[in-house]
Structure 1
Amino acid sequence: MKPKHLFYALLFTIAIVSCKSTQQVITQTPTKDISNFEKLASIKNVVSIEKKEPTSHFDENYELWFEQPVDHNDASKGTFRQRVFLGYESQNLPVIVELRGYGIGSESAGELAAHYKANQLSIEHRYFNNSRPDAIDWNTLTVKNAAKDQTNIINAIRDAIFPNAKFVTTGISKGCQTTMAHRRFFPNNVDASVCYVGPLNYKREDPRVYQFLKTVATKEDRDKVKAFQNLCFENRVALLQLMKDEATKKNMSWEFGAQKAIDYTILEYSFAFWQWGISVSSIPPQDVSVENIYKHLIDVVGYGFFEEKAVDDLQPYFWAALTEQGIYGYETAPFKTYLNTEEIYKFDWALPEGISKEYNLKPMQEIKSFLDNSAEKMLFIYGEYDAWSATAVELTSTAKNRELYKFVKPKGDHRTRIKSFSTETQQSIYNIIDGWIEN
C-alpha cells in the first residue's frame, strides 16, 4: 500500500509532521535552527515525507518519496515515485548510501552504518515494490536511468542536510551491480564504494557459471550434489505430483507449467546449493523417501524463482538480467538421459508478456572498462563457494594504485559480509574504509 500523501508548503511556512498514525499541522516561524524534517520537506522533488519511529542507532528516521522522471532523457514519459529511507544520526558523520538492487526490505542499519554508527540513506531501485509508474515502459528500466535516479537523490540529501559529510555507496548482490553502475556513470558522486557478492556478467547466459559449477569445492562434494540431482530426475514423476499437490494447497502456478517447473527446480539445485552454502551433510541418501527428496529440494531451491506470482514480483530483476546485467542458464548435457536434450535452458519465459528485447552487452563491458582503467576507492567482498562468484569482478594489476580492493572469504557463500572474515582481515578492510571516510 502506498504511504499517505504528506506534502508541505514552502520552507518557513507550514510543515506536516507525521508520526505513525497521527498527523499534526504546525505553523513554523523563522528560526536559525531548521529541523531536519523541514530541510527534507523543502527538497524540490520530495512529494511525501513521514517521520517514523527511530530504529537501530539512528536518532531520527524518515521515509521519503521522490518524484523521478520515468526516462531521464525524455520528460514526456512522465514521472514515478521512488521510496527512500534516511536514518539520521549526525550531519558530521558519514552517510552510508545503501543502493538496493530490489525493494527496501528493512529500515535498520546495515553492516557499514552499524559499524560506524553513521547516517544511512537507503534507496529503493526503480520499478520494485511501489517505486514504479502505474504502467511500466520496460525500455526505461536501464542501469543508466537507475544511476541517474540515485544521483538525484544523493545530491538532494547532501545539499539539504550533509553538505560536508563523506558519502559511501554500498550494495549487496544486485545492489552491488547497482553500485558499480552508479559509479561508472557518476564516478565522483560519492567518495567511495563497498560492494558485496555482486556478479559482473559479460553475456546474458554467462558460461563462466558452468565452469564454476564443475570446479567449485572438491570433486567428492560436487559428485554428491550431482548424485542428488540424478536422484531427483529418477523420481521426477513422483516429485512432479508432490509439486502439483503443493500448488493446489498454496494456490501456486507456473507460466511454463508444472512439468517444466520441476525440471528447472532440479537444474537450479546446484547453483542454489553453492550460492547459499548448504552443507553437503544435509543431502539425503539415495534410499530416502520421495517426500524427503522433495523437502530437501525445496528447502534449497524454494518456489520463489519460478512460481508465477513470484516472477511477477521479480519482473524488474528478470528484465534487467535479460537485457543488460546478465544471468545464467542451465546446462542439460549432464542430464541428457532424463531430458533428452543438450540445449541450454534459459529464462526467456521470464520477460514481460508480449515483450522481447535483445541483450545489450555494452553496459557491463563499460563497467568492466571503468573498473580496469579509472575507478577509484572501491572495495569488493565475495564468498569463494558462492555461485555468483563465478562472474565476480576481477581486478587488474593497477587496481591497488587506484585503491581498488577485493577480499574473498574462503568457502564463503552469498551471505558473506565483512563480519564473515577473520578478525585480522576485518581490521584490514575497515582500515581501508577508515582512510576513505576520515581524509
Structure 2
Amino acid sequence: MNKLTTKFYSLLFVISIGFAACTQPLSLEQKLIQLPNVTVQKITGDTTFSEYFEIYFTQPLDHENPDAGTFKQRVLLGHQAYDKPMVVELQGYNIWTEKAGELSKLLHANQLIIEHRYFKNSMPDSIDWQYLNIKQAAADQHKIIQALKKIYKSKWLTTGISKGGQTTIYHRFFYPNDVDVSVPYVAPHNLAREDKRIHQHLASVGSKECRDKIYQFQLACFKNKKEILPLAKVFAENKGYSFSMGLEKALDLSILEYSFAFWQWGNTKCEDIPSSDATSQDLFNHLLRVSGMDFFDENSLKPGLAFYHQALTEIGMYSYEVEPFRPYIKYKKDLCFDHVFPNEPIRKFNPESMQKVNHWLQTDAEKMLFIYGEWDTWSATAVDLKGKNKCKKFVNPEGAHRTRIKSFPPDMKNEIIKTLEEWLEIRIENS
C-alpha cells in the first residue's frame, strides 16, 4: 500500500470516527446546557430519579421590558425517562425540599421544581416590588416550561401546595396551554385584601362545642394577659425575637391567630385545649404549640416579605376579628398584616387580578383538579366552581391544610385517580 493510499484510509477512519461521535445521542446534561441563559449542575438529589440537576435560569425582572434588569431563578429537575410525564411543582415561596412529590411518585414521573421569584435563591440584587406580581411570576414559569418542553415531549402537569397552589392557578390563567392538567392543593382564592369569608368559616367550622372551647381558651388568654406577658417576654428574649408592633400587640395577635391555626393545621384535638381555669403557664405553653409567636418576629418575617407584599397588594389575606374580645383589647378595628412593613406606606390592594382569575375559573378553565380539606381555614376562600367549566374539586372530609390525595377516603381517592387517568390519557399503576 503506497503512502497516498495510507493517508486516504487514515483520513477516512478519522472522518468515520467523527461521524459516529456526531450521531451519538446527547446526554440529558448536554441537552440542558444547550438551553439558552442557563447554568446547569448535576447534583445528588432524591434517588427516586435516575438523574438530578440544579439549574439557574436567567430571567428578566420585567418580561415586557428586558432593559429593567435580570435575576437568576433556581430550578430542580429530577429525571426518570423522556417518555414519562413531567410534573412541575410551582412553589409559592422558596424550594422546601428536593424530594419527589406525591404526584411525581403517583405517576412515576419526571419532576421540575420552580422556585418563586423574590424568594431565597431567586432574589434580584435589589428589591423593586413593582416586578413582583402574578403576571411576571407566570411568565417566569412559562419560559422555563417552554424551554424544557424541547426535551420532554410527554404529558405535562403543574401542581403546587397552598401559595404554590395559587401560583399554579395563576400560571394556568395566563398560559392555559402550557400543560395538560393542573392540580392545585389547598389553594385559597381570596377576593379581598382581608377576605371576610375567613371569619364566617371560623364561626361555623367543626362542632359548636369545639368552637366554644377555642373561644373560651382565647378569652382566658386575654383575661390572664397580665400574667402571661412576663412569660412571653422571657420566651421572646430566649429566642431572640423582636416585634415591630411591640410585645403586647404581638401576644394579642398570637391569641387571635389561635383559632385560624387550630383549624388550618388540625394538629390539636379539642380535648387537648386547656380549660379556662388553667394556669397562665399552661395557657401560654398551649398557645405557643398552636400559634407560636415566631409568626410575628421581625427576623422570621424577613424571608417571607415577598409573600406579604403579594398578599397585601394582589392575592389577598385575612384579618383578625377583635369584636368578640373587645372588653379585653382596645383596638378600634380588625387587625391586619400591615405591621409586616412598619416603616412603609400602607399597601393598596388592587382586586382586579383576582376578579379576572375568578371569572376565568367560572367560565374557561379546564382540566384543573382542586384538592381541599373541609376544616382547613384556607378552605373558607377555596375556588368556587359555579360556572360551566371543565374542572373538578374534591374536599377531604374533616381534612386540614396538609390534605393530599392519599388523605382521602378510598372511594374519593379512586375518583381522583380516575379523573387524572382520563385527563392525562394514561394508566396509573399501584395507586
Secondary structure, in 3 states, of the residue corresponding to 2:386? coil
> What CA distance in whole angstroms lies between the structure 2 residues aligned with 1:417 and 1:304?
26
Higher share of residues assigned helix: 2
Show structure 1 runs of 4+ deviating over 6 A.
none
Contact 1:331 1:342 in 2 (8 A): no
Structure 2 counterparts to residues 37-76 of structure 1, below 5 A: 37-46=29-38, 48-76=39-67
Question: Which residue among 404, 421, 429 is the counterpart of 1:434?
Answer: 421
Query: Which residue matches 2:202?
Result: 213
The code of the aligned residue for 1:70 comes to L
The code of the aligned residue for 1:359 comes to F
Q: Is 1:425 the equivalent of 2:412? A: yes
Report deviation, 1:328.
0.4
Structure 1 window deviating more from structure 2 (145-154 vs 248-257): it is: 248-257
Query: Which residue matches 2:189?
Result: 200
Return 5+ residue gaps in structure 2 as ranges.
Answer: 1-19, 427-431
Q: Is 1:265 the equivalent of 2:257? A: no
Question: Which residue among 148, 151, 158 is the counterpart of 2:149?
Answer: 158
The code of the aligned residue for 1:351 comes to F
The code of the aligned residue for 2:84 comes to L
Q: Deviations over 1:23-43 (max 9, x none)?
A: xxxxx9644210111111111
- Between the two proteins, the alignment pairs up a number of residues equal to 406
> What CA distance in whole angstroms lies between the structure 1 residues aligned with 2:341 and 2:352?
20
Q: Is 1:334 the equivalent of 2:334? A: no
Report deviation, 1:341.
3.7
Contact 2:45 2:98 in 1 (8 A): no
Query: Which residue matches 2:384?
Result: 394
The code of the aligned residue for 2:103 comes to L
Contact 1:319 1:352 in 2 (8 A): no
Q: Deviations over 1:412-434 (max 9, x none)?
A: 10011100001221111011111
Secondary structure, in 3 states, of the residue corresponding to 1:73? coil
> What CA distance in whole angstroms lies between the structure 2 residues aligned with 1:156 and 1:348?
39
Structure 2 counterparts to residues 400-419 of structure 1, below 5 A: 402=390, 404-419=391-406
Question: Which residue among 297, 302, 308 is the counterpart of 2:287?
Answer: 297
Provide closer, same or farther for how the CA distance between residues 129 and 435 of structure 1 changes in structure 2, counting only shifts above 3 A.
Answer: same
Q: Deviations over 1:108-163 (max 9, x none)?
A: 1111001111100000000111201111101110000000000000111111x20x
Report deviation, 1:50.
1.4
Question: Which residue among 319, 337, 359 is the counterpart of 1:347?
Answer: 337
Secondary structure, in 3 states, of the residue corresponding to 2:83? coil
> What CA distance in whole angstroms lies between the structure 2 residues aligned with 1:56 and 1:287?
52
Report deviation, 1:66.
0.7
Secondary structure, in 3 states, of the residue corresponding to 1:338? coil
Question: Which residue among 107, 117, 124 is the counterpart of 1:116?
Answer: 107
Contact 2:116 2:137 in 1 (8 A): yes
> What CA distance in whole angstroms lies between the structure 2 residues aligned with 1:102 and 1:356?
23
Structure 1 window deviating more from structure 2 (187-196 vs 237-246): it is: 237-246
Provide closer, same or farther for how the CA distance between residues 141 and 34 of structure 1 changes in structure 2, counting only shifts above 3 A.
Answer: same
> What CA distance in whole angstroms lies between the structure 2 residues aligned with 1:184 and 1:408?
22
> What CA distance in whole angstroms lies between the structure 2 residues aligned with 1:306 and 1:29?
60
Structure 2 counterparts to residues 80-99 of structure 1, below 5 A: 80-99=71-90
Question: Which residue among 383, 398, 404 is the counterpart of 2:373?
Answer: 383
Contact 1:304 1:310 in 2 (8 A): yes
Secondary structure, in 3 states, of the residue corresponding to 1:108? coil
> What CA distance in whole angstroms lies between the structure 1 residues aligned with 2:220 and 2:414?
45
Structure 1 window deviating more from structure 2 (281-290 vs 328-337): it is: 281-290
Query: Which residue matches 2:310?
Result: 320
> What CA distance in whole angstroms lies between the structure 2 residues aligned with 1:266 and 1:158?
48
Query: Which residue matches 2:10?
Result: none
The code of the aligned residue for 1:374 comes to D
Question: Which residue among 180, 185, 207 is the counterpart of 2:169?
Answer: 180
Contact 2:57 2:73 in 1 (8 A): yes
Report deviation, 1:54.
4.2
> What CA distance in whole angstroms lies between the structure 1 residues aligned with 2:194 and 2:136?
23
Contact 2:363 2:387 in 1 (8 A): no
Query: Which residue matches 1:20?
Result: none
Question: Which residue among 159, 162, 184 is the counterpart of 1:170?
Answer: 159
Secondary structure, in 3 states, of the residue corresponding to 2:344? coil
The code of the aligned residue for 1:306 comes to F
* Rg comparison, structure with higher value: 2
Contact 1:49 1:65 in 2 (8 A): yes
Identical counterparts, % of pairs = 46
Query: Which residue matches 1:226?
Result: 215
Query: Which residue matches 2:26?
Result: 34
Contact 2:90 2:116 in 1 (8 A): yes
Contact 2:73 2:117 in 1 (8 A): yes
Provide closer, same or farther for how the CA distance between residues 352 and 196 of structure 1 changes in structure 2, counting only shifts above 3 A.
Answer: farther
TM-score by length of 1: 0.90
Q: What RMSD, in angstroms, separates the aligned Cα atoms of the two structures?
A: 1.4
Q: Deviations over 1:279-308 (max 9, x none)?
A: 111101223222221111011012332110
> What CA distance in whole angstroms lies between the structure 2 residues aligned with 1:256 and 1:205?
19
The code of the aligned residue for 1:362 comes to E
The code of the aligned residue for 1:322 comes to L
